[in-house]
């Protein structure tokens, strides 16, 4: 049986160590997400055969292990160890080359590619330049915002701005009539992120106009050349505010990163349309495995 413990702030150096040595590009492995959404889902961890094991006990999810690599028998042993505690366990976030790493795995598991949970990855340079016919409208909206609000400026998110961001997010939810289980949970994740701001590796930008927020973004490092944007909110009454925060975030990330992961669409039609409108360079598959018996 796995000796699982609650994942909390003291384990951040452990996450940095494993994910730095064995990086993953799925946003679910980002330290920010593991900590902030993990606080909601009561994420747990264990060290098992030199691998970092992560679980989401709320849904019985066992993350594909982080480490030098387990063969098929090792994956099965790990899974059965967790299933002793969680009979409805599901293995998630298999690497796309699982057939090479773990041949015969599909003899024991039903493997599924969950499209709704694929990550959208974009070239940072392309998001800055916004060149080409597909992105022409985005570029025009950025220009319109800059013309309409020539005195706008960009400031970094810091912990002392937490109340301001929470108030803006509440306004965004209220004015868009945005309710539902996911959005309410996301709001809690944003609050957790701001509360942990000085403990987790995370950054953010605020677009300001006349001492008020037009938009903000929150992001963190994923790998050496990829960052992940976790949250992005904008004032829908200010035309171009969505595009300006997208563009300013890309400009900021361009100094250190080649790629930006903008997470999943969760099968929400409007969100999928918005993410596809920027023509992603890559979709990171969300591959799951359920036992055949």
105-150 confidence digits (pLDDT tens): 999 999 999 999 999 999 999 999 999 999 999 999 999 999 999 9
Residue 169 CB neighbour total at 10 angstroms: 20
Please say if the pLDDT value at position 176 is more than 90. no
> Residues 54, 162: one domain?
no
Q: What is the predicted pLDDT for the residue at 134?
A: 93
Q: What is the predicted pLDDT for the residue at 141?
A: 98
Number of domains in the chain: 2
Q: Is residue 26 part of a domain?
A: yes
> Residues 185, 130: one domain?
yes
Please say if the pLDDT value at position 179 is more than 60. no
147-171 confidence digits (pLDDT tens): 999 999 999 999 999 999 999 998 8
Q: Is residue 293 part of a domain?
A: no
Q: Is residue 290 part of a domain?
A: no
Least confident of 96-105, 175-184, 244-253, 255-264: 175-184
> Residues 231, 142: one domain?
yes
Q: What is the predicted pLDDT for the residue at 65?
A: 98
> Residues 198, 102: one domain?
no
**Residue 273: strand, helix, or coil:** helix
> Residues 73, 156: one domain?
no
10-42 confidence digits (pLDDT tens): 999 999 999 999 999 999 999 999 999 999 999
Q: Is residue 270 part of a domain?
A: no
Please say if the pLDDT value at position 53 is more than 70. yes
Q: What is the predicted pLDDT for the residue at 184?
A: 84
Give the pLDDT band of residue 180 (cuts 50, 70, 90). Answer: low
> Residues 27, 137: one domain?
no
**Chain centre to alpha carbon of residue 37:** 10
| CATH number of the structural domain spanning residue 192 | 3.40.630.30
Q: Is residue 54 part of a domain?
A: yes
Q: Is residue 280 part of a domain?
A: no
Last residue of a domain, one of 86, 118, 150: 118
pTM > 0.85: yes
Q: Is residue 212 part of a domain?
A: yes
**Which domain covers residue 53, as residue numbers?**
5-118
- Diameter of the chain by CA atoms? 62
> Residues 107, 91: one domain?
yes
- Mean residue pLDDT of the chain comes to 95
Integer angstrom CA distances of residue 121 from 106, 278, 292: 27, 10, 32
Last residue of a domain, one of 83, 118, 153: 118
35-44 confidence digits (pLDDT tens): 999 999 999 9
Q: Is residue 281 part of a domain?
A: no
Using the 8-state DSSP alphabet, how is residue 4 labeled? Answer: -
């Amino acid at each position: 049986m796995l000796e699982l413990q609650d994942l909390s702030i003291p384990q951040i150096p452990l996450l940095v160590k494993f994910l730095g040595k064995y990086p993953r590009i799925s946003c679910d492995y980002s330290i920010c997400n593991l900590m902030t959404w993990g606080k909601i889902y009561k994420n747990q961890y264990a060290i098992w055969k030199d691998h970092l094991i992560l679980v989401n006990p709320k849904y019985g999810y066992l993350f594909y292990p982080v480490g030098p690599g387990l063969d098929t028998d090792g994956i099965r042993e790990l899974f059965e160890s967790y299933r002793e505690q969680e009979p409805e366990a599901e293995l998630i976030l298999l690497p796309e080359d699982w057939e090479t790493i773990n041949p015969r795995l599909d003899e024991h598991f039903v493997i599924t590619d969950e499209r709704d949970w694929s990550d959208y990855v974009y070239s940072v340079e392309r998001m800055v330049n916004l060149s080409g016919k597909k992105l022409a409208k985005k570029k025009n909206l950025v220009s319109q915002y800059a013309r309409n609000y020539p005195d706008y400026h960009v400031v970094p998110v810091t912990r002392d701005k937490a109340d301001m961001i929470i108030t803006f997010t509440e306004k965004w939810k209220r004015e868009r009539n945005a309710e539902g289980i996911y959005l309410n949970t996301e709001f809690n994740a944003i609050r957790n992120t701001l509360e942990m701001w000085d403990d987790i590796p995370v950054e953010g930008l605020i677009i300001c106009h006349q001492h008020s927020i037009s938009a903000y973004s929150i992001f963190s490092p994923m790998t050496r050349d990829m960052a992940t944007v976790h949250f992005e909110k904008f004032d829908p009454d200010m035309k171009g505010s969505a595009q300006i925060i997208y563009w300013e975030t890309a400009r900021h990330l361009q100094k250190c990163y080649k790629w930006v992961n903008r997470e999943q669409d969760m099968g929400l039609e409007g969100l999928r349309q918005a993410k596809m409108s920027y023509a992603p360079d890559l979709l990171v598959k969300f591959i799951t495995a359920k036992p055949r018996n």
